[in-house]
Amino acid sequence: MLLLACCSARAQEKWKLVWADEFNYNGLPDSTKWTYENGFVRNQEPQYYTVDRLENCRVENGMLVIEARKEEYPNAAYQPGSANPAQQQPVAHYTSASITTHAKADWEYGRIEVRAKVPAGMGAWPAIWLLGTDRAYTKWPNCGEIDLMEYLGRDPQKVYGTVHYADSANKYQHEGKSPVVEPPANGFHTYALQWYPDRLEFYYDSLKYFVFDIAKANNKQDNPFRKKFYLLLNLALGHQGSWAGPFRDSDLPFKYFIDYVRIYKKAD
């Protein structure tokens, strides 16, 4: 009886669409909605994120395509002798793209829903994730991070939902789950986050597989998950020693397809 009541209550929830990209156009992603990360951005990953480049990020046939390729591409940030890993290589050997809604749109609470098809292959590392809008001055992990979906090509029957934050002692913490599912790379699936003032709910299609209690992230600076976040869509490559593991050149290019992105708020 309790289960039926819970299911009934969830079914009765009303959501209002407040932001979307259906990708029903051709060319570069809509610049009023998306911006780019640029260069070697994080984790010493081998891919160089390019900007406004159709080879790596384009809209065609009713969907967004993010493509990771093997090719030589100049590193605009190169500085000989730099101690910064992002500036050490004059030329990148792999390119990809990461687009975000930073400075374009952000949200606090609601339903974030993305229908996507991830690429198969060792070392493929596509993601749908969110970062706290105040990241520039709050810094990570205090700004909070919500990994709505990460997929590792080396682990083809799982998706990962993870939350990163600083606890009440200002120490880094993370929590998540990775359900075993039919291989996500075989087709399109709906990845969703339902974000309430007290919890985060993670969905793979209709499967709710992880619930995070937001109170765990209470700290001296407030709670990041009761503030606004912006969205990121990216396709990274793993490497030896990384979580995603190495990839094979022979498996490239990887293509990550996104059918739509929809953001909802609770209807009055």
Q: Are 58 and 253 in contact (CB under 8 A)?
A: no
Q: Is the dihedral of CA 156, 162, 164, 167 positive or negative?
A: negative
pLDDT at position 5: 39
pLDDT at position 108: 97
List, in order, residues 6 or more apart from 221 with CB less than 8 Å away: 138, 142, 166
pLDDT, tens digit (0-9, with 9 covering 90-100), for 127-178: 999 999 999 888 899 999 999 999 999 999 999 999 999 988 889 999 999 9
- Mean pLDDT in residue range 94-110: 98
Kind and range of the H or E element at 131? Answer: strand 124-132
**Distance in angstroms (rounded) separating the CA atoms of residues 218 and 214:** 8
Q: Which domains does the chain carry?
A: 21-266 (2.60.120.200)
pLDDT, tens digit (0-9, with 9 covering 90-100), for 44-99: 999 999 999 999 999 999 999 999 999 999 999 999 999 999 999 999 999 999 99
Helices (H), the chain: 2-11, 135-138
**Distance in angstroms (rounded) separating the CA atoms of residues 135 and 138:** 5
pLDDT at position 11: 52
Q: How confident is the model at residue 1 (pLDDT cuts 50, 70, 90)?
A: very low
- Residue carrying the six token digits 């597989």: 209
> Is residue 122 scored above 60 in pLDDT?
yes
pLDDT, tens digit (0-9, with 9 covering 90-100), for 193-247: 999 999 999 999 999 999 999 999 998 778 999 999 999 999 999 999 999 999 9
- Mean pLDDT in residue range 252-264: 98
- The radius of gyration of the chain from alpha carbons, rounded to an integer in Å, stands at 19
Kind and range of the H or E element at 175? Answer: strand 172-177
pLDDT at position 2: 40
DSSP 246: -
pLDDT at position 13: 83
pLDDT at position 3: 43
pLDDT at position 4: 44
Catalytic residues: 145, 150
Look at 164 and 9; give whichever has higher pLDDT: 164
